[in-house]
Chain A
Amino acid sequence: MIAIERTLDTPRWQRVALPFASLLLAAIISGLVLVLSGHNPITTYEQIYTASFTSAGALTSTFVYATPLLFTGLAAAIAFRMRIWNIGGEGQLYMGAIGASGIGLLLGSWPTPLLIPAMMAGGIVAGALWALVPGLLRAYLQTNEILVSLMLNYVAGLVMYFLIYDSKSYWRDLTSPTALVFPTGKTLSAAATWPGLTIGSFTLPLGFVAGVVLAVLLLALVRSTRFGFEMRVMGDSTSAATYAGMRTRRIILAVMAVSGALAGLAGASQIGDFGHVLDPRGLEQAQYGYTGIVVAALAMYNPLAVVVVAILIGALTNAGFALQGPGFPPGLVGTMEGIILFSVLGGEILGRYRIRIGSQLRPQRAEAEADAAR
């Protein structure tokens, strides 16, 4: 008699070992795919490693991708942990970029130490407000926040396009001769450029540093504050939270706002750290908001794990661009990312079960429990 049954508790070692085993499995399956498509997996993995970390400028460029993923990953993790499914990180990022670039343009003459916090605040406020739309609808009208936040991503995208392509908005460059032919946004002043932390040839973006600080703060918030306690209770059992007298609507709104603020910071960092101009096409093609959901899932919603996963996925994305060429189609990189996600999430789900060979004692107990619950 062989049965697969659910386990109530996973031992600690298993929780740590499982992601690594899953990654190994992903490497093996990806290796098979690579062999089938005529590549040597060992050399390909070597290439990926060099292109992400060791070759000239590789590490800097890995962190260019890791920084927005860190923010959007945190945004998804904090909400999902509470079982509030904010998948509007993408749109909140766009709004954050609009807000931060607006502030950057408006206050361009301010000194950098004042301008950076102002731009961050612009991103935070814009992202949080955008996230509050699905938050309010969920809290007061019980709408499904998945659908609303997802649809608002497209709305935010259109707003961004409207500002640059279809209007004479404050964000659009209406003066330079090329901008008359190809619509672009106004470039921010030099004072609005966020300085990175340069160590030799490697530059760590300011946004990444801020993201790491926020990850630590978020962990502390969830673990040891009153608000974090409320969040954990609500994430576990809404009815217990209501029973305990918690203001569940306010908690939903607060979590949505925090999540949106983090995604908005991703947008602010895109402007301040990297782009210095509101570029709808670039932001949309990158899809950092959606990839952030993947990052959060792989990190099992743990803020500190998000930091590590963001770097790994950033590295893989970076390597993907480096490897791309006639012999290495971009689809292959996507396939490998998909295999990693599949393995890790699959491992996470299967880890909750065990295979039992032998007597039939346990299912009966489950039956009795089910009956007692009735």
Chain B
Amino acid sequence: MSIHVEAGPASAESATAGLVPAVAAIGVTKRFAGGVVANDRVSFDARRGEVHALLGENGAGKTTLCNILTGLYHPDEGEIQVDGSPVRLHSPHEAQRSGIFMVHQHLSLVDSLTVAENVVLGWSRHRGLRYTPRQVEAEISEIAARYQMQVDPHARIWQLSLGERQRIDILKALYRDARILILDEPTTVLTPAETEQLFSSVHEMVAAGRSVVFISHKLPEVLAIANRITILRKGRSVTTVDAAGVDVRELARLMVGHDMPAGRVRRAAAGSGTPPADQRGVLELERVCADGDFGIQVLHDVSLSVRPGEILGIAGVAGNGQRELAEVIAGLRAHSRGAIRLDGAELHGGDPRAAINRGVAYVPEDRMGTGVSPSLSVTENLMLKSYRRDAPHAGPVLLMDRADAQSVALMEQFDIRSRGPHALVRQLSGGNVQKVVLARELSSQPRVLVAASPTRGLDVGATEYVHGVLVDSARRGVGIMLISEDLDEIVELSDRIAVLYEGRVVGIVDAAQASYEQLGMMMAGAA
């Protein structure tokens, strides 16, 4: 059961049937130093008047492909064609001159300027330096009306919601006569009503002969908006399908794939001691709700339980509440409703010190930004939490010589390779930084370990090491919550798997019985 339809130039050509695509990537390969192949012979083409979706999990190569299309990266192999002729794009500016515009998730607007000012910032239809607000405002209103967008040209950006701001960014591209508009996961910041508005604007754009490249990992919305869908997986373009000819199930299967990497043994399948089902959870979440960074509720009634010695995998596509879930447990984010219990006693939210003292260890997703203090030494990072109580001290004075000796022992135990305990953490490789984090978190004898994307960006050796450490800790009775976007990792290590979609637990399955198809469907909100 393996589908590997390679979308070569030949098949793309036959599909276009004589039409010259507005933009096409042909056999694009992009390698990064360190042997990472972000794009491996990726091909796709978007016709005039088409919404073409790029669908894939995180790390599938969508962002790299877009950075190539907008001139931020140069492909190592392959080429980009605009209207059938090859182009070499050296900068976003050149891409824009070829009519390719991208609306990023992080919008590029100046808060204190008005909508009209933002739209003409850097480029105006009118030559010269003079800015004629009335004329520009009229033009903006006209474009907005044509594409069914509600826009007040006088409004200042800071007054607008995120959805409205995104509309301005799109309008900016249309004002500059974008022929190919790339939307990078545009619905992430939108309410359902705003999403509908966006979709009708997109329909108007393609009706006017423009092309829209729609990047997403949400299956229902891709099916709703796209004409054709190119599926990316692990840096390759798996296939291009007509949206009319597929269903959610098929797309889910194509997106997550289902071939197990050879040589890996599923922990659950190997029967490494699944704890008895009736054992009480060491960590219990009961109907936990929490708000995200923008004050919008992102966790909805999450109820989960992690038993001692168990690895509970949290699967889901990034941005479905995983980060917030981890932060709520670690005390870095307060929950608005519900209860978190550790060993049966309530853990009050929003107090990281209380969580640490109660035995919650946390390997954060943002390793360099949060997990370590990069300009401090290995020793200092190893005592980042223990300095208050356990680190060697005499009164308020920390005894660094003895701390160094302790950290040398930990460095040996966790195979941290550095020039010594005084080496700065920012000089270490990603794998060694993660080992520092794990050494610190596990040496505190935790009851629970929350590991968020613990192997992201690590090479194969470091990944295996981290996996080994997690399994080992579970064996010693630590309750582990493993949050990861890498489904292979989740399936390989977990005893049970919970799937998060839009901040809700859509299902909890026994890893031994889980199928990739079922998990993929749940992750994409189709179950």
Whether A and B are associated in the same complex: the answer reads: yes
Interface residues of A (CB under 8 A from B): 8-9, 224-227, 229-230, 232-233, 236-237, 239-247, 361, 364-365, 367-368, 371-374
Contact A371/B362 with A8-B427, A233-B373 known, Cβ cut-off 8 Å: no
Query: Which of B32-40, B200-208, B264-272 is the interface stretch?
Result: B32-40
B370 touches A240 (CB 8 A): yes
In contact, B373 and A236 (Cβ under 8 angstroms): yes
Closest to A240 in B: B373
Q: List 26 A-B contacts (CB under 8 A).
A: A8-B426, A9-B424, A9-B427, A226-B396, A226-B397, A226-B398, A229-B387, A229-B398, A232-B373, A232-B380, A233-B376, A233-B380, A236-B374, A242-B332, A243-B352, A243-B362, A244-B385, A245-B385, A245-B388, A364-B32, A364-B33, A367-B73, A368-B36, A371-B32, A372-B430, A374-B63
CB atoms of A243 and B376 under 8 A apart: no
CA distance A247 to B38 in the complex (A): 41
A237 to B427, CA, bound (A): 16
Which 7 pairs, one residue from A and one from B, show the smallest C-beta to C-beta distance?
A: A245-B353, A368-B32, A240-B373, A245-B352, A365-B33, A368-B33, A244-B384
Q: Given A225-B396, A229-B398, A367-B73, is A247 in contact with B353 using a C-beta cutoff of 8 Å?
A: yes
B9 within 8 A of A: no
B38 partner, pick from A8, A9, A224, A371, beta carbons under 8 A: A371
Contacts of A246 in B (CB 8 A): 353
CB closest residue in chain A, given B387: A229
A243 near B330 with CB under 8 A, answer yes
A119 CA to B376 CA in the complex, in Å?
39
CB atoms of A225 and B426 under 8 A apart:
no
A237-B369, A242-B352 known; 9 new pairs, CB 8 Å cut-off, are A237-B372, A239-B366, A239-B370, A243-B362, A243-B364, A245-B355, A367-B32, A372-B430, A372-B457
A-side contacts of B63, CB under 8 Å = 371, 374
- B150 contacts across to A, CB distance below 8 A: none
Overall SS of chain A's interface? helix
Q: Cβ of A226 and Cβ of B393 under 8 Å apart?
A: yes
Chain B nearest CB: distance from A338 CB in Å? 30
Please, which residues of chain A bring their CB within 8 A of the CB of B330? 243
Other-chain contact of B376, A8, A224, A236 (Cβ < 8 Å): A236
- Is B64 at the interface (CB under 8 A from chain A)? yes
Contact call A240/B384, Cβ cutoff below 8 A = yes
A224 touches B369 (CB 8 A): no
User: Is B190 interfacial (CB-CB < 8 Å)?
Assistant: no
CB distance from A238 to the nearest CB of B (A): 10
Complex: A202 Cα to B337 Cα, angstroms: 70
- Name the CB-closest residue of B to A372: B457
Fill in one digit per residue for B362-390: 1 if any A CB lies within 8 Å of its CB, else 0. 10101011111111100010011101100
B356 within 8 A of A: yes
Residues of B within 8 A of A9 (CB): 424, 427
Closest B residue by C-beta to A246: B353
Q: Report the Cα distance A365→B384, complex, angstroms.
A: 30
Docked-complex contact A227 and B396, CB < 8 angstroms: yes
B314 CB to nearest chain A CB (Å) = 19
Chain B residues near A (Cβ < 8 Å): 32-34, 36, 38, 63-64, 73, 330-332, 352-357, 362, 364, 366, 368-376, 380, 383-385, 387-388, 393, 396-398, 400, 424, 426-427, 430, 457
Given A226-B387, A229-B380, A368-B36, A243:B370 Cβ within 8 A: yes
Q: Are A237 and B33 in contact (CB under 8 A)?
A: no
Cα–Cα distance between A229 and B373 once the two chains are bound (Å)? 11
Would A224 and B398 count as touching, CB distance under 8 A? yes
Which residues of chain A come closer than 8 Å to B400, judged between CB atoms?
Answer: 224
Contact between A226 and B388 (Cβ–Cβ < 8 Å)?
A: yes
- What are the residues of chain A within 8 A of B375 when measuring CB–CB? 236-237
A228 to B375, CA, bound (A): 15
Q: Are B371 and A240 in contact (CB under 8 A)?
A: yes
Q: Which residues of B contact A232 (CB under 8 A)?
A: 373, 376, 380
Best-surrounded residue of B330, B352, B393, B427 (most CB of chain A within 10 A): B352
Chain A residues whose CB sits within 8 angstroms of the CB of B380 once the complex forms: 229, 232-233
Which residues of A are found within 8 Å of B427, using beta-carbon distances?
Answer: 8-9
> CA of A371 to CA of B32 in the docked complex: distance in angstroms?
9
Task: State in angstroms the CA–CA spacing of A365 and B34 once bound together.
Answer: 8
Q: Which residues of A contact B398 (CB under 8 A)?
A: 224-226, 229
A240 CB, min distance to chain B CBs, angstroms: 4
Chain B residues with CB under 8 Å of A230's CB are 387
A374 to B368, CA, bound (A): 12
**In the bound complex, CA of A361 to CA of B32 (Å):** 11
Whether B374 contacts A237 by the Cβ 8 Å rule is yes
Which of chain A's residues has its CB closest to B385's CB? A244
Q: Which residues of A contact B33 (CB under 8 A)?
A: 361, 364-365, 367-368
Task: Indicate which residue in B331, B353, B369 contacts A239 across the interface (CB closer than 8 Å).
Answer: B369
What is the minimal beta-carbon distance from A326 to any residue of chain B, in angstroms?
Answer: 48
Per the bound structure, the CA–CA distance linking A239 and B371 in Å amounts to 8
Which single residue of chain A is at the shortest CB-CB distance from B32? A368
Residues of B near A373 (CB, < 8 A) are 368
Write the nearest CB–CB distance from A199 to chain B, whole angstroms: 34
What residues of B have a CB within 8 angstroms of the CB of A236 in the complex? 373-376
Which residues of B sit under 8 angstroms from A233, Cβ to Cβ?
373, 376, 380, 384
The minimal Cβ–Cβ distance linking B275 to chain A, given in whole angstroms, is: 29
CB distance from A38 to the nearest CB of B (A): 43
Do B64 and A371 touch (CB < 8 A)? yes
Which of chain A's residues has its CB closest to B393's CB? A226
Closest to A366 in B: B33
In this complex, the member of A237, A247, A367 whose beta carbon has the largest number of chain B beta carbons within 10 angstroms is A237
Question: How far, in whole Å, are A227 and B396 apart by their CA atoms in the complex?
Answer: 8
What residues of A have a CB within 8 angstroms of the CB of B397 in the complex?
A: 224-226
**Chain B: CB-nearest residue to A234:** B373
Residues of A within 8 A of B374 (CB): 236-237
Instruction: Say whether B36 contacts A244, CB under 8 Å.
Output: no
CB distance from B474 to the nearest CB of A (A): 23
Q: Which residues of A contact B370 (CB under 8 A)?
A: 237, 239-240, 243
Residues of B within 8 A of A374 (CB): 63
- Report the minimum CB–CB distance from B180 to chain A (whole Å): 22
Chain B positions within 8 Å of A227 at CB level: 396
Kindly state the separation between the CA atoms of A239 and B370 in the bound complex, as whole angstroms. 5
Among residues of B, the one whose C-beta sits closest to the C-beta of A225 is B396
Please give the distance in Å from B488's CB to the nearest CB on chain A: 19
Minimal Cβ-Cβ distance residue in B for A229 = B387
Question: CA of A236 to CA of B380 in the docked complex: distance in angstroms?
Answer: 12
CB B237 to nearest CB in A, in angstroms, measures 19
* Cβ distance A370 to chain B, nearest Cβ, rounded Å: 10
Chain B residues contacting A241 (CB-CB under 8 Å) are 373
